């Protein structure tokens, strides 16, 4: 027969201070893990939101990213008529030639400046990004020195706000709009007219990349293969989603550091939980003896104490998630070595992240609780009853 | 106080299991604190080596992916106080198979005739230096890198370019020691790169960084300002900084590392405090009756307070010492691992870190024992003797 759960709950409440201290120790460990995982979840979300599964990104063969890729107008003319490329309402192939470069914006908080990606594109490029909306002002006009700034960049660098002037390339640019790309990386980019921007960086003929829209999901692999196999074009093609997925690696150093720290803290918390549970067992010698006399088996004593440890750790896990919860939706930035620019994204304390944190807490509880629970179950009835 | 030491020691050993668990728990936390302190010290407070203090790096103001004309080299060289300047170009590319990240290492195109002036810490036999300086396809590798791929001198190393449309066919002519920051770096003759590129390539006469060696440490800040002023209005503006600042910029690129370290540091310290306070409270509670007996024997409130505080200090000190040993072990493991940051490559738990961590351990132990110890000392003899646990 099992010992009722209320027995464990009451025990935890009777020794309030010890319970809270142990749970808080576990909670802080969980909070560190949850915070790091939430950071990675936010970063992942930003990248995944950027890639449309129908879009195919074309770079020069060997290029590791848009920043060191070159696609000439000549190559673009050839590849935009490949079979499998969708056409818009006007019957034009949905292919966008783009130039991507990085500029340095400085702010009071960061006088050395942080790098921001600038993208020059055509009206087709905007048409192929239906998720990107202007939330303030308007889109840039073709042939004008006008730019639209992603909302994260506009927020982090006051000089890049609506109506501001940015100096890069060969002169100054007027900020005529602020755009919102959902959770995507577009929020940390600056958009402008393809011809204007490429002229400023002496790249009118050799631009950076081409974005193609496939007719449907089944046409994507064929399009990617035909581009990769075309010796004449000498380009690499992959889906936009795959490209951005590989960039999630930028968070790897923080992730490993965080997991390393959480693991060591967990070892410490495990020992602390073990201490608490051993104390609980030794203080309750008489109770254990009584329970045995009442007919509870060794197995149910073991289960009961083990469960109490899980309960204690679970409480810690919940505390940890609550501690990390205020981080949700906080905007932060991380540098990407693929683009040499900063990606702004929101930290996401998702249910999945919290579940991992809670699971981690329970694992600590299980590891810390097993030995004390076994010690409790092993006690002989008579000696247990005689304990003070 | 000293005469109570045996009693304090005996008390610590009384509940051995609890003491060991507490020591282990504190050791884990303090090991982490020690590593964080060492990392912080290495990143933000390290004193540069004499050679390092004289070196500056000029790169494009916007990013390392932006290149500058190689002609900048001679202009920088002409500035007063500049002893030597070398162009240094990061060569990305692929060795063996790009899909396996283990094949990644730093490869730089450099000028062999100037490398050993700028990096005097690189140790290579004179005949190997000579071969490196005279063969167009020669390359040298740091000891760690050579060991990782089991390279021997004479090894053929092929690297397929990505940023640069060149395939390098290099021959390893020497394996160098002496420079921990570059122990996993391959240096090759820049002629192999620039002469291998097709004529008219847009990248032909461009370089990513210039390594500057100043004549004296006093010249360093002035050189940095003068170089940047010289190219301020050029199409490719520059940013010149000390080698240390340059390495730090990689760290800040990862996000706000300082704040991140502080946050973790705070969380760990607080956890340690909780663990320690909890244990001391448990052990004092167990011993109320004993305290009553001690008082009957004539121990004063003050000495009882001292005995309990002493026990807390001993346990946290032992925990701290074990933690420091663990930290040094982990640091050694990290030094042997892949070099992501130079600060990791040279991570050591120095005497300063050890002292600070142990002091922190004792302070944490004392603070956490203060309340339970004061309570125990204050309880009257009758109450404590009547206490049933």
Share of chain A above pLDDT 90, in %: 33
Q: Which residue of A has its CA nearest to B245?
A: A112
CA torsion, ordered B20, B23, B26, B30, to nearest 10 deg: -140
Residue A107 pLDDT grade (very low, low, confident, very high; cuts 50, 70, 90): low
More confident residue, A249 or A180: A180
Whether the CB-CB separation of A352 and A45 falls below 8 Å is answered with: no
- The per-residue pLDDT for range B251-300, each reduced to its tens digit, is 776 666 777 778 888 888 888 888 788 887 888 777 778 888 888 888 88
Predicted confidence at residue A250, as pLDDT, reads 67
The answer to whether A264 faces chain B, any CB pair under 8 Å, is yes
Residue A43 backbone phi and psi in degrees, to 5: -65, -45
Residue A112 pLDDT grade (very low, low, confident, very high; cuts 50, 70, 90): low
* pLDDT of A207 higher than 70: yes
Tell me which residue of B321, B299, B320 sits closest to B308, measured CA to CA. B299
How far is residue A148 from each of residues A127, A141, A198, A199, A203, measured CA to CA in Å? Answer: 15, 10, 16, 18, 20
The answer to whether B268 faces chain A, any CB pair under 8 Å, is yes
Predicted confidence at residue A190, as pLDDT, reads 94
Answer yes or no: do B31 and A264 touch at CB < 8 A. Answer: yes
DSSP letter at A83 equals T
Shortest Cα–Cα distance, A378 to chain B (Å): 17
- Parallel, antiparallel, or unpaired: how do β-strands A114-121 and A95-105 relate? antiparallel
Q: Where are the alpha helices (DSSP H) in chain A?
A: 5-14, 16-50, 73-79, 123-127, 151-156, 194-200, 219-229, 240-247, 252-283, 285-293, 298-324, 351-378, 381-386
First to last CA, chain B: 28
User: Mean pLDDT over residues A77-96, rounded?
Assistant: 90
Q: Estimate the share of chain B in helix, then strand, then coil, as percent rounded to the nearest 5.
A: 60, 15, 25
Predicted confidence at residue A149, as pLDDT, reads 94
Query: What does the alpha-carbon distance between residue B78 and residue B50 come to, in Å, rounded to a whole number?
Result: 23
User: Mean pLDDT over residues A357-374, rounded?
Assistant: 92
Shortest Cα–Cα distance, B246 to chain A (Å): 12
Predicted confidence at residue B284, as pLDDT, reads 79
Query: What does the alpha-carbon distance between residue B71 and residue B74 come to, in Å, rounded to a whole number?
Result: 6
Task: Name residues 280-309 of chain B within 8 A of A (Cβ).
Answer: 281-282
The answer to whether B273 faces chain A, any CB pair under 8 Å, is no
pTM for the whole structure: 0.77
DSSP letter at A157 equals -
Q: Which residues of A touch B281 (CB under 8 A)?
A: 17-18
Task: Name residues 58-87 of chain A within 8 A of B (Cβ).
Answer: 62-64, 67-68, 70
- Provide the token pair at A144: 């004008």
User: Mean pLDDT over residues A34-49, rounded?
Assistant: 84
Predicted confidence at residue A338, as pLDDT, reads 64
- Parallel, antiparallel, or unpaired: how do β-strands B185-189 and B167-176 relate? unpaired
Q: Which of A176-185, A293-302, B160-169, B188-197 has the lowest mean pLDDT?
A: B160-169
Answer yes or no: do B17 and A278 touch at CB < 8 A. Answer: yes
**Looking at the DSSP assignment, which residues form a beta bridge with residue B242?**
B56
Q: Which residues of A touch B163 (CB under 8 A)?
A: 62-64, 68
Computed over every residue of chain B, the mean pLDDT equals 85
Residue B99 pLDDT grade (very low, low, confident, very high; cuts 50, 70, 90): low
Shortest Cα–Cα distance, A130 to chain B (Å): 30
The answer to whether B249 faces chain A, any CB pair under 8 Å, is yes
Answer yes or no: do A388 and B388 touch at CB < 8 A. Answer: yes
How far is residue B237 from each of residues A115, A168, B60, B337, measured CA to CA in Å? Answer: 14, 11, 6, 37
Q: Which residues of A touch B386 (CB under 8 A)?
A: none
* pLDDT of B389 higher than 60: no
DSSP per-residue letters across A135-149: EEE-PPPTTSSEEEE
Q: Which of B25, B63, B254 sits opposite A268 (nearest CB)?
A: B25
Answer yes or no: do A275 and B65 touch at CB < 8 A. Answer: no
Computed over every residue of chain A, the mean pLDDT equals 86
Question: Which residues have C-beta within 8 Å of that of residue A91, sequence separation ≥ 6?
Answer: none
Residue B382 pLDDT grade (very low, low, confident, very high; cuts 50, 70, 90): confident
DSSP letter at A85 equals B
**Looking at the DSSP assignment, which residues form a beta bridge with residue A42?**
none
Share of chain B above pLDDT 90, in %: 32
Shortest Cα–Cα distance, B118 to chain A (Å): 26
- The per-residue pLDDT for range A327-338, each reduced to its tens digit, is 888 877 777 666
The answer to whether B259 faces chain A, any CB pair under 8 Å, is no
Residue B63 pLDDT grade (very low, low, confident, very high; cuts 50, 70, 90): confident
Residue B339 pLDDT grade (very low, low, confident, very high; cuts 50, 70, 90): low
Q: Which residues of A touch B367 (CB under 8 A)?
A: none
Question: Which residues have C-beta within 8 Å of that of residue B389, sequence separation ≥ 6?
Answer: A283, A388, B285, B286, B288, B289
Answer yes or no: do A275 and B279 touch at CB < 8 A. Answer: yes
The answer to whether A25 faces chain B, any CB pair under 8 Å, is yes
The answer to whether A112 faces chain B, any CB pair under 8 Å, is yes
Question: Which residues have C-beta within 8 Å of that of residue A341, sequence separation ≥ 6?
Answer: A67, A102, A114, A115, A116, A117, A188, A335, B63
Predicted confidence at residue B130, as pLDDT, reads 94
Tell me which residue of B16, B5, B15, B9 sits closest to B286, measured CA to CA. B15
Q: Which residues of A touch B260 (CB under 8 A)?
A: 254, 257
Whether the CB-CB separation of A138 and A177 falls below 8 Å is answered with: yes
Positive or negative torsion for Cα B69, B75, B79, B85: positive
The residue whose two tokens read 């000293």 is B2
Residue A118 pLDDT grade (very low, low, confident, very high; cuts 50, 70, 90): very high
Q: Which residues of A touch B268 (CB under 8 A)?
A: 28, 261, 265
Tell me which residue of B167, B144, B165 sits closest to B156, measured CA to CA. B167
Query: What does the alpha-carbon distance between residue B376 and residue B371 come to, in Å, rounded to a whole number?
Result: 9
Whether the CB-CB separation of A208 and A76 falls below 8 Å is answered with: no
Best mutation target among B274, B339, B368 (most A Cβ atoms within 10 Å) is B274
Predicted confidence at residue B222, as pLDDT, reads 94
How far is residue A29 from each of residues A25, A165, A201, B96, B168, measured CA to CA in Å? Answer: 7, 46, 49, 41, 48
Instruction: Provide the number of CB pairs (under 8 Å) joining chain A to chain B.
Output: 136
User: Mean pLDDT over residues B18-44, rounded?
Assistant: 88
Tell me which residue of A10, A30, A114 sits closest to A323, measured CA to CA. A30
Predicted confidence at residue B212, as pLDDT, reads 95
Question: Which residues have C-beta within 8 Å of that of residue B145, sequence separation ≥ 6?
Answer: B105, B151, B183, B184, B185, B186
Share of chain A above pLDDT 70, in %: 95
Q: Which of A49-63, B102-116, B139-153 has the lowest mean pLDDT?
A: A49-63
Task: Name residues 116-155 of chain A within 8 A of B (Cβ).
Answer: none
Q: Which residues of A touch B27 (CB under 8 A)?
A: 268
- The per-residue pLDDT for range A261-270, each reduced to its tens digit, is 888 888 888 8
Query: What does the alpha-carbon distance between residue A106 and residue A186 come to, in Å, rounded to a whole number?
Result: 19
Answer yes or no: do B18 and A275 touch at CB < 8 A. Answer: yes
Query: What does the alpha-carbon distance between residue A296 and residue A142 come to, in Å, rounded to a whole number?
Result: 82
Predicted confidence at residue B223, as pLDDT, reads 94
The answer to whether A259 faces chain B, any CB pair under 8 Å, is no
User: Mean pLDDT over residues A272-290, rounded?
Assistant: 85
The residue whose two tokens read 């000028």 is B111
Predicted confidence at residue B322, as pLDDT, reads 94
Q: Which of A4-18, A165-179, B53-67, B95-109 has the lowest mean pLDDT?
A: B95-109
How far is residue B112 from each of residues A282, B105, B204, B214, measured CA to CA in Å? Answer: 72, 19, 19, 19
Answer yes or no: do B274 and A253 touch at CB < 8 A. Answer: no
More confident residue, B119 or B301: B119
Give the distance from CA B232 to its chain's centroid: 34
- Provide the token pair at B27: 């050791």
Tell me which residue of B40, B122, B42, B33 sits closest to B345, measured CA to CA. B42
């Amino acid at each position: 027969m099992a010992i009722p759960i209320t027995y464990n709950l009451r025990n935890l409440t009777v020794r309030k201070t010890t319970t809270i201290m142990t749970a808080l120790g576990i909670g802080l460990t969980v909070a560190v893990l949850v915070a790091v995982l939430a950071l990675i979840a936010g970063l992942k979300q930003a990248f995944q939101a950027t890639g449309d599964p129908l879009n195919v990104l074309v770079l020069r063969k060997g290029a590791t990213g848009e920043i060191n890729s070159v696609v000439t107008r000549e190559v673009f003319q050839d590849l935009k008529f490949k079979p499998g490329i969708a056409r818009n309402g006007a019957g034009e192939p949905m292919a966008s030639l783009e130039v991507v470069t990085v500029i340095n914006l400085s702010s009071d908080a960061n006088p050395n400046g942080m790098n921001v990606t600038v993208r020059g594109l055509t009206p087709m490029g905007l048409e192929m990004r239906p998720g990107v909306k202007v939330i303030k002002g308007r889109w840039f006009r073709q042939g004008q020195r006008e730019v639209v700034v992603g909302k994260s960049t506009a927020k982090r660098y006051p000089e890049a706000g609506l109506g501001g002037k940015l100096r890069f390339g060969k002169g100054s640019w007027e900020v005529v709009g602020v755009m919102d790309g959902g959770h995507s990386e577009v929020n940390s980019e600056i958009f402008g007219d393809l011809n204007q921007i490429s002229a400023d960086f002496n790249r009118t003929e050799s631009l950076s990349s081409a974005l193609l829209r496939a007719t449907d999901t089944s046409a994507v692999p064929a399009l990617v293969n035909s581009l990769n196999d075309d010796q004449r074009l000498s380009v690499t093609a992959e889906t936009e989603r795959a490209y951005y997925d590989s960039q999630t690696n930028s968070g790897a150093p923080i992730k490993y550091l965080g997991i390393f720290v959480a693991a060591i803290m967990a070892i410490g918390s495990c020992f602390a939980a073990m201490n608490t549970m051993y104390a609980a067992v030794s203080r309750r010698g008489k109770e254990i003896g009584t329970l045995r006399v009442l007919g509870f088996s060794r197995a149910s004593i073991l289960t009961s104490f083990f469960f109490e440890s899980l309960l204690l750790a679970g409480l810690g896990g919940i505390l940890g998630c609550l501690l990390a919860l205020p981080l949700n939706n906080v905007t932060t930035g991380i540098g990407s070595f693929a683009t040499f620019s900063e990606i702004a994204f929101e930290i996401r304390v998702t249910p999945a992240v919290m579940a991992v944190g809670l699971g981690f807490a329970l694992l600590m509880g299980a590891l810390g609780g097993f030995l004390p629970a076994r010690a409790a179950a092993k006690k002989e009835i008579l000696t247990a009853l005689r304990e003070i | 106080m000293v005469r109570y030491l045996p009693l304090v020691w005996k008390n610590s050993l009384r509940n051995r299991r609890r003491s060991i668990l507490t020591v282990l728990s504190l050791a884990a936390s303090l090991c982490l604190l020690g590593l964080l302190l060492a990392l912080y010290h290495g990143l933000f407070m390290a004193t540069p080596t004499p050679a390092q203090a004289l070196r500056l790096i000029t790169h494009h103001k916007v990013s390392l992916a932006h290149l500058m004309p190689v002609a900048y080299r001679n202009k920088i060289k002409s500035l007063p106080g500049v002893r030597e300047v070398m162009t240094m170009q990061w060569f990305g590319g692929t060795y063996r198979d790009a899909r396996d990240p283990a094949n990644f290492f730093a490869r730089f195109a450099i000028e062999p005739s100037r490398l050993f002036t700028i990096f005097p810490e690189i140790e290579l036999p004179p005949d190997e230096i000579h071969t490196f300086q005279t063969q167009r396809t020669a390359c040298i590798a740091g000891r760690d890198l050579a060991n990782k791929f089991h390279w021997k001198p004479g090894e053929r190393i092929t690297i397929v370019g990505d940023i640069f449309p060149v395939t390098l066919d290099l021959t390893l002519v020497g394996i160098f020691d002496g420079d921990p920051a570059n122990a996993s770096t391959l240096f090759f003759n820049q002629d192999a790169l620039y002469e291998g590129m097709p004529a008219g390539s847009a990248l032909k006469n461009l370089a990513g960084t210039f390594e500057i060696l100043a004549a004296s440490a006093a010249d360093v800040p002035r050189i940095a300002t003068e170089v940047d002023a010289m190219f301020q209005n050029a199409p490719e503006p520059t940013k010149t900084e000390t080698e240390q600042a340059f390495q730090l910029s990689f760290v800040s690129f990862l996000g706000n590392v300082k704040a991140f370290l502080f946050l973790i540091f705070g969380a760990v310290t607080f956890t340690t405090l909780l663990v320690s306070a909890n244990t001391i409270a448990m052990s004092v509670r167990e011993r109320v009756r004993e305290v009553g007996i001690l008082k009957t024997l004539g121990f004063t409130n003050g000495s009882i307070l001292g005995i309990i505080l002493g026990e807390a200090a001993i346990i946290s000190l032992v925990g701290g010492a074990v933690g420091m040993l663990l930290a040094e072990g982990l640091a050694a493991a990290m030094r042997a691992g892949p070099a992501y940051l130079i600060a990791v490559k040279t991570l050591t738990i120095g005497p300063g870190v050890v002292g600070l961590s142990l002091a922190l351990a004792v302070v944490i132990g004392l603070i956490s024992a203060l309340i339970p110890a004061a309570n125990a000392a204050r309880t009257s003899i009758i109450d404590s003797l009547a206490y049933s646990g």
